[in-house]
Amino acid sequence: MTYRTWDEIKHDVFEDDPDDLPMIDEETPTFMRLPHAKTPGDLDGADVVIIGSTYVAGTGDLLWSVDRREWAAAARRVRQQSARYPSGYVQEFDIDVFEHLNVVDYGDAYLDPATHYTKTYDTVIAAQRGVEEKVNDALDAGAVPIVIGQNSPASSYAIAKPIAERTDGTVGVVSLDTHWDIRAIDDDTNDPRIAGAAAWKAKMYEFQDNMPISNLVEIGERGMIEEKERVRMFLEAGAHFYPMWKVRRIGVEALCEGLRPAYDGTDAVYAHFDMDVLGGAGPTSGDILGNLAEPLGMTDYEVIRVAHEVGKRGFDGMSFICIPPGSEVIYRTIVYVIMYMLAGKALASLEAT
């Protein structure tokens, strides 16, 4: 599947070059044509801050059988696809999100290009801290950070950590994923200090004392890929698990009711969407995920519906990883996840007044 150039996309959407389209760089419009916040001061008054992360695991030309450049382009391409939408009006709810929420795009976290080819403790932690810095800027402004990224720790733990550090009480988690990501150590670096791709969630609970596993709602895993000892350990610690077999059996509305434990007695909630959870059940083939794809994936509607419910219930930060690469409609799906989540947040605020 060949992704079109920005010039081709722009021509389809605008026909002529738009003079007033906010641009982060020559190929990257801001998310949903929103204002580009360039400094922490530009975040004053923001309710939501969009942040990009280009960090990709591994060091070879291919990652999970797909060109690593395809993975790294996710934040830019999501923004490109979002430019097709002229406003924040979500017709299903008859609400213009941007009339009720001040949303800005804070660009991408800095990433040393050498990190694509060298993975050491220093390079990986530097990438993580680059995202943490922007997330902390958003939290300083009283805004909710949403990070569009690809791999851990820069696009997952780097969001959870600042939220946990700023929360006096406990932090709940809503996580959608094909994989638990709870190995004892990540095989990308084999460094126990790093919350890497296959181990980041286990490390999150190891490193953050105020994130009890009993407030984790884990959704979407299936099949034979996990280590039974690790899964059983999390279940025995109180994790609330909705594998796809159960999701299909109970339906998405019951699943949304099952989000409650992430909110019970917690003072903050972190939402994490690993989009390999689609696995081909969404609007395009799972084969674009390479060897990450698994049968029995969530549908695009199920993911978006859960996002909307999280928005209604409230969340303090959100992250994306493993956005399936190369498909325009998949990148639009990420736009929908964000916008329907924000629609939920806006509707909840209106209902509270």
Instruction: Supply the pLDDT for residue 20.
Output: 86
The answer as to whether 122 is a domain residue is: yes
Q: Is the pLDDT of residue 153 over 70?
A: yes
The answer as to whether 240 is a domain residue is: yes
**Tokens describing residue 153:** 């720790």
Is residue 28 within 8 Å of residue 79, measured between CB atoms? Answer: yes
Measured CA distances, 344 to 65, 154, 215, 234, 263 (Å): 36, 26, 21, 30, 16
Instruction: Supply the pLDDT for residue 19.
Output: 77
Instruction: Supply the pLDDT for residue 116.
Output: 85
Count other Cβ atoms within 10 Å, centred on residue 45: 10
The vertex-27 CA angle with 21 and 28, nearest 5°, equals 60
**Tokens describing residue 210:** 């105020």
Q: Is the pLDDT of residue 223 over 70?
A: yes
The answer as to whether 253 is a domain residue is: yes
pLDDT, tens digit, 9 for 90 and up, residues 183-212: 999 888 899 999 999 999 999 999 999 999
Q: What residues contact 286, with CB distance under 8 A and at least 6 apart?
A: 278, 279, 280, 293, 294, 295, 297, 324
pTM of the full predicted structure?
0.97
**How many alpha carbons lie under 13 Å from residue 32 in its C-beta half-sphere?**
24
The answer as to whether 178 is a domain residue is: yes
Q: How many domains does the chain have?
A: 1
- Residue span of the structural domain in which 131 resides: 6-352
Q: Is the pLDDT of residue 327 over 80?
A: yes
The answer as to whether 1 is a domain residue is: no
Which pairing describes strands 48-52 and 103-108: parallel, antiparallel, or unpaired? parallel
The answer as to whether 261 is a domain residue is: yes
CATH code for the domain of 57 = 3.40.800.10
**Tokens describing residue 200:** 């980041």
The answer as to whether 300 is a domain residue is: yes
Q: Is the pLDDT of residue 1 over 80?
A: no
The answer as to whether 62 is a domain residue is: yes
